[in-house]
Amino acid sequence: MLSGDFFCSIFSKMSFKILKSVKKWYFSRLIKKTQKLYMEQVTTEKKGHPKALYLLFFTEMWERFSYYGMRGILILYLTKSLIEGGLAINEQSASLIYGFFTGFVYFTPLIGGWLADRFLGQRNAITIGGLTMMVGQFVLFGINSQTGLYLGLFLLIIGNGFFKPNISTLVGRLYAEGDPKRDSAFSIFYMGINLGAFLAPLVIGLFAENLFAVKDETGKILTYGYKYGFLIAGLGMLLGQVLFNTLAKKYLGTIGESPAKAKAAASASNEAPKVDKPLTKEEKQRVTVIFILTAFVIFFWAGFEQAGSSLSLYTDKFIDRNVFGFEIPTSWFQSVNPLFIVALAPLFSIFWTSNLGKRLTTPVKMGLGMILLGIGFFFMLGAVAERGGDNQDITIKASLFWLVMTYLIHTLGELCLSPVGLSVVTKLAPVKLASLMMGVWMLATFVANIIGGFVSAYVEALGAFAIFATIAGFVIVLGTVMIALNKPILKMMHGVR
């Protein structure tokens, strides 16, 4: 007769073998699953950014080449005398024209974004905008009068409204929601913007202030060739449109072809966005955040955009531009900021994806950007002090060092604020309002440039020192306030950082 101990012994041995088999099977599956996840991660990392990003990169680069090239010579074209190839407009009026032009360039994207979302689609809007801006540049080239000026600027304003918000929206649509590569993509895209902005003043300045300028026997410029600068800007816009319309189908597929409303209505999927469905509470709070950030950013751009008006006029008169016997054209200094952007954007792109960069939230990044803008203006105070104050004697010049340092610090601030802002708008905006919300973001620059135009107009009356000091103090205070509001803003962003 078999004892109980015998059965216990058999059962124990069988149980041990079963457990051993289960353990072996379990760990085998676990290892395979881990290997699979690892290979998927490696594959994803190897994929990097889609080729469409680089198409949008070069399309935007040529559009910015056109815009910043024209902008780099605009204030000079307005203020130089008729015999010098300008329009002989006084500095105060020229500053206001410049401010309202650069302001409305960023207002019309609100309308262009809405039209693209509802009727046109992003890609059609980009084409319409690009061609309209091209015609505007050619008008400035062909009609050298105040009539030609206002007509050309009007076309540029309208064209930019169709172009600007929609190309930025397309960049955001290349990535799935929550994709960590999106911030990096916008930094790369932003580098394309500034590559065009860097090249434009150099090329167009060379044509306007050298190759097509009329000089006397001593080499002094008698007449500037500003109209040829506008011609080159128009040709750059043409090249960008040829590139976009030739390659968009290949690399973008159907992205941006149809307006958001039509796409949503045509889709029967439950995952498709319902354009006519009211916004949820979460979406409303996210949209509110876009408006809050926009309100702060107005004052950043009001200070930053002094580069093309008051800083440009100050450079033309009071900065020593002579380097080793060569006098640097004033318009070339519009390339300093983009040069720093191109050099530093890749470093910022890497930093934002690092562990430390990921811990910095959007309000903190943007607050730091505003503080850096204020610090940059302290260097312009150094330039004023070196000249002995607000001295109108143009023979007394300040060192080039002050101007370059101002642009460097402003660039660091811009990289903390602008590409981060573009990225966060695409994350926060409901799909049906994507381009419209991008237009709202551009609205900050509209208001800022008009404010900046009035600020620049009063530099001569109030003095450069008072203007630069006021801007510096004000934006530093606002930047500090934004950082202090980090937690409540972050709560309203509902997971977006």
Residue 24 within a domain: no
pLDDT for the residue 22: 47
Per the structure, the complete domain to which residue 326 belongs is given by 51-260+279-493
In a domain, 34, yes or no: no
pLDDT for 358: 77
Other CB atoms within a 10 A radius of the CB of residue 290 amount to 21
Q: Check: CB of residue 313 under 8 Å from CB of residue 77.
A: no
Whether 1 is in a domain gets the answer no
One pLDDT digit (tens) per residue for the chain, 497 residues: 444 444 445 444 554 554 455 445 544 544 454 344 333 333 334 457 888 888 999 999 999 899 988 988 998 899 888 888 889 898 889 989 999 998 898 788 878 888 888 888 889 999 999 999 999 999 999 999 999 999 999 999 999 989 988 888 888 888 877 777 777 787 788 778 878 888 898 999 888 888 888 888 877 888 889 999 999 999 999 999 999 999 988 888 888 887 866 555 555 455 444 456 777 878 788 888 888 888 899 999 999 988 888 888 888 888 998 888 888 888 888 888 888 887 887 888 788 778 887 788 888 999 999 999 999 999 999 999 998 888 788 788 889 999 999 999 999 999 988 878 877 887 887 777 776 777 778 778 888 989 988 888 888 778 888 889 999 999 999 999 999 988 888 888 766 66
Listed residue (258, 143, 221, 201) closest to 407, CA to CA: 201
Mark out the alpha helices in 212-280 (DSSP H runs).
226-252, 260-266
Is residue 7, in this structure, part of any structural domain at all?
Answer: no
pTM: 0.74
Query: CB–CB of 119/166 below 8 Å?
Result: no
255 in a structural domain: yes
The reported pLDDT for the residue numbered 231 is 94
What integer pLDDT is reported at residue 97 of this predicted model?
93
How far apart CA 434 and CA 490 sit, in angstroms, is: 20
DSSP lists the bridge partners of residue 214 as: 223
Looking at the domain assignment, is residue 242 inside a domain? yes
In a domain, 12, yes or no: no
- Give the count of domains, the chain: 1
CA distances from 49 to 44, 300, 440 (A): 10, 30, 27
- Please check whether residue 274 lies inside any domain of the structure: no
Distance set, CA 423 to CA 225, 231, 380, 407, 445 (Å): 39, 33, 31, 23, 16
Distance CA 165, CA 382 (A): 38
| CATH number of the domain to which 459 belongs | 1.20.1250.20
Q: What is the pLDDT of residue 27?
A: 46
